[in-house]
Amino acid sequence: MQKKDFLSGLNSEQLKAVTHIDGSLLVLAGAGSGKTKVLTTRMAWLIQNYQLGIGEILAVTFTNKAANEMLYRVSSMLNADSRMMWVGTFHSIALRMLRAHYEEAGLIKNFQIIDSNEQQSLIKRLIKQRNLDEDKYPPRELQNFINYQKEHALRANQLSPDNLRTKYWVELYAIYEEVCNRDGLVDFTELLLRCYELLSFHDGILNRYRHQFKHILVDEFQDTNQLQYKWLQLLSGIKSTVFAVGDDDQSIYSFRGAKVGNMRAFMQDFTAPEPLLLEQNYRSTQTILAAANAIIDNNGDRIGKNLWTSQKSNDKIRLYEGYTEEDEAYFVVDEIKSLHNNDGVELSDIAILYRSNAQSRVFEQHLYNRGIAYKVYGGLRFFDRMEIKRVLAYLRLILNPNDNEAYLRVVNFPARGIGAKSIENLLLVADENSVSFVEAVNFLPEKSKKNILKFNNLIKTMQEDIKVLNLPETISYVIETSGLREFFENEKDGEDRIENLNELVTAVTGFLPENPSDVLAEFLAHSVLESLDHQAAKNEQSIQLMTVHAAKGLEFKVVFVVGLEDGLFPHDNSLNSQNNLEEERRLMYVAITRAKEKLYLLRACSRLLWGKRLSAPLSRFVNEIPAELILNISGMSQIGYSQLDGHSYKDEQYDDTGWVENKTSRVELKNSDVTLKIGDMVSHAKFGRGKILKLFAEGKKMTAEIFFIGIGKKVLDLNIAQLEKAY
């Protein structure tokens, strides 16, 4: 058979990587440098030129999507049966080995894999069986403890507890292991640990795989944790060649156990030469790459590379500093409409990236209001998130205690000792007597209704207490009184949930009901309407909303990175730790390098948090970008956010930015001695405090464009609107 030319189209560094044959190698592949092409081409080239069987190469990656793409490309290049290849995630490769050697691994033939939710349910049962208080021993915390130990290759009998709490954890870990072994259950972390132990304790099996896999390729090497690294060391031995591809500048998963230090350790442990650098980028403009290089250069412990491209573009990075999060979102949506309508950019080529899931809410609202289809990638829309639905369920019960669906959602959340059997009896009694769940408690025997009565009384107390509270205060009160805040604070991964609860309070601060006496009912109706399936159908064009973590590996023509304030991005939790701050900087590097053609950086000069407007400085990461790469298009924000407080303001005519229309910088209100000028702070009975952005005067007609804090921009007729100056 005639050999295929797999090497054409590779640049010089890609060619060196693909054809490397002298031992193990670390390839430092920058964003957009064609690493998947290098990996798949190397596999095809090795098989064709060294007469290897397609089963003699092992390729490991981190996602099924990446594994499937590699399988498809290589099988197409070789015209081979992909089922014979060993290409997959760490977990899928481990599963394949365990299925083949289940007896040696101490498993039953048809062992079952349990997901994270099933693992947590099992742990809950064990805690309950030991009569431990879930509030003191949260199941999620024990789950994280068990998984952490497994990721460090530690069994329960290898641990030495140093306090009573850890003693209980270790005992429960041991019981958990016994139950899983008895029932033939394997959780995700167990897959790799059990496979590691299989190879460690059975030399014959280990030598078989060492002999079989002449070459081992690893994608996204910067994301490997300690156990994965040890597994690779064990499996490769001294004969296999390990070809590791990664980018230390894109290591953003330390919270999952990823160790960026594995890249440096690789060169020593696998006797590899200096890493080969893939620096030519095929995705972004040179301006975008220059910004990314400048930012990441501030990280200290990195191997180091410098991205470049042959693409020519003078398009600067656009910076917009909005007054508030509403102004930030208003600008983004305006710009999206312009890009789509005037420049022909497809909606699916545009992404809005944020640091925290809670930030999506204001963008969802503005996109929804403007009729623009959107999709929250890798997550739920704001009002569909579990913690938000819990709060809304409490609010629904306050309005209508007979709302059975809302009742079931929160009667035992957070846990208040109302078990499944009690709820089952409640449902049965309600059905038999044709009453609501809240009324059905009266038909239950005394011994089984104590905790349910407590819950019903909690709702009654809430109904009374909120009568003197406004809407933001009501929601804050419900979050606290229901125990939701405390519940999520005690969850290891509850930080995002707490931020979403905070954002819900922010969301209602600017809510304007048509009927103020029914503000709670109107807000609940609004939340339902906004959570309708406005997201695009599968094949419909839509804006992509996602966290920066979710965006890794993706690319878009236009990217808006929002919320660039110190305390938000970089996150507040990272500001006092150099290691955490450097990971945040790598996250910013990932965000910037998602953009192919246009990049927008945005921040709000102030944000509402728990009903209070707080300000934060511009993200230090933006200040690390050379000024010549940035075009500030902030408009009024160029004057400075401090002007929102109504202090000094220049009267002079401004430049050609468009702030002054018809050469009008001030107007005198009819039948009044009040003079308004651009930049004045004003007060409106309905919209509150705002700042005049533009004035229009033509004959007797006078209008003003005003940015109202927490509301956004409004154009008002000055002959009708009753404005007062705010000092």
How many other β-carbons are positioned within 10 Å of the β-carbon of residue 319? Answer: 21
Secondary structure, 3-state, 128-186: HHCCCCCCCCCHHHHHHHHHHHHHCCCCHHHCCCCCHHHHHHHHHHHHHHHHHHHHCEE
For residue 701, the model assigns a pLDDT of 80
* Calpha distance 3→324 (Å, rounded): 62
Dig out the tokens for 49 from the structure: 């030129």
Ranges 193-197, 308-312, 391-395, 719-723, most confident = 193-197
Whole-angstrom distance, CA of residue 604 vs CA of residue 419 = 46
Q: Catalytic: 286?
A: no
Q: What pLDDT is recorded for position 222?
A: 93
What token pair was written down for 28?
């430092």
SS3 content of the chain, % helix, strand, coil (to 5): 50, 15, 35
For the cut 90, the answer to whether the pLDDT of residue 246 exceeds it is: yes
Bond preceding residue 414 cis, omega within 30 of 0: yes
Q: Is 149 a catalytic residue?
A: no
688: left (phi over 0), alpha (psi -120 to 50) or beta: left
Orientation angle between helical segments 386-399 and 495-509, nearest 10 degrees: 50
Q: What's the burial of 373, exposed, middle or buried (CB within 10 Å: 0-12/13-18/19+)?
A: middle
pLDDT at 668: 73
pLDDT 10s digits, 510-550:
676 656 667 887 787 667 655 544 444 444 689 999 999 98
pLDDT the model gives residue 656: 33
Per-residue pLDDT of 553-580, as tens digits, reads 899 999 999 999 999 999 988 988 999 9
Q: In this predicted structure, which of 4-18, 237-251, 441-455 has the lowest mean pLDDT?
A: 441-455
Range with top average pLDDT, 384-388, 434-438, 583-587:
583-587
pLDDT classification of 647: cutoffs 50, 70, 90: very low
220 annotated active-site: yes
Which entry of 13, 187, 190, 220 is annotated as an active-site residue?
Answer: 220
CA-CA distance, 46 to 217, in Å (whole number)? 12
Options 594, 603, 607, 691, the catalytic residue:
594
Question: CB atoms < 10 A from the CB of 635, how many?
Answer: 18
Residue 379 has pLDDT above 70, yes or no: no
Identity at 351, one-letter amino acid code:
A
Look up residue 492 and give its two tokens: 């290891």
Q: What pLDDT does residue 11 have?
A: 95
Nearest to 707 by CA among 675, 674, 678: 678
Q: What is the mean pLDDT of residues 368-394?
A: 84
- Residue 2 is given by DSSP the state P
pLDDT at residue 555, as a whole number: 94
Sheet order of strands, 701-708 included: 712-717, 701-708, 688-698, 681-684, 724-725
Which DSSP string do the residues of 4-60 spell out, in sequence order?
P---TT--HHHHHHHT--SS-EEEEE-TTS-HHHHHHHHHHHHHHHTT--GGGEEEE
Instruction: Tell me the three state secondary structure of residue 189.
Output: helix
Catalytic residue among 13, 35, 586, 689: 35
Q: What percent of the chain has pLDDT over 90?
A: 39
Strand partners, 244: 26, 218
Going by C-alpha positions, the residue among 289, 387, 374, 299 that lies closest to residue 333 is: 374
> Who has greater pLDDT, 337 or 725?
337
Which residue among the candidates 16, 19, 36, 465 is catalytic per the annotation? Answer: 36
Give residue 709's pLDDT. Answer: 61
Catalytic annotation present for 586: no
Is 40 labeled as catalytic in the residue annotation?
A: no
The average pLDDT across 445-460 equals 86
pLDDT at 88 exceeding the cut of 80 = yes
Please pick, among 41, 250, 593, 703, the residue that the annotation labels catalytic: 250
The tens digit of pLDDT for each residue in 29-58 reads 999 999 999 999 999 999 988 888 888 999
Residue 194 designated active-site: no
How far apart (Å, rounded) are the C-alpha atoms in residues 49 and 467?
Answer: 79
Q: Is the pLDDT of residue 284 over 50?
A: yes
pLDDT of residue 507: 76
For residue range 91-114, list pLDDT tens digits in order. 889 988 998 999 999 988 878 888
HEC letters along 463-522: HHHHHHCCHHHHHHHHHHHCCHHHHHHCCCCCHHHHHHHHHHHHHHHCCCCCCHHHHHHH
Quote the CA–CA distance of 65 and 337 in Å, as a whole number: 32
Give CA 520 to chain center in angstroms: 30
pLDDT of residue 526: 67
Q: Buried b vs exposed e over 676-695: b needs ≥16 C-beta within 10 Å?
A: bebbbbbbbeebebbbbbbb
Q: In this structure, what token pair is assigned to residue 502?
A: 């905070």
Strand 666-668 and strand 630-632: the pairing is unpaired
Among residues 187, 219, 248, 321, the one annotated as catalytic is: 219
Residue 641 has pLDDT above 50, yes or no: no
Q: Which two tokens stand for residue 636?
A: 């009024």
Residue whose tokens read 């050469």: 663
Quick one: which of 373, 359, 361 has its CA closest to 535?
A: 373
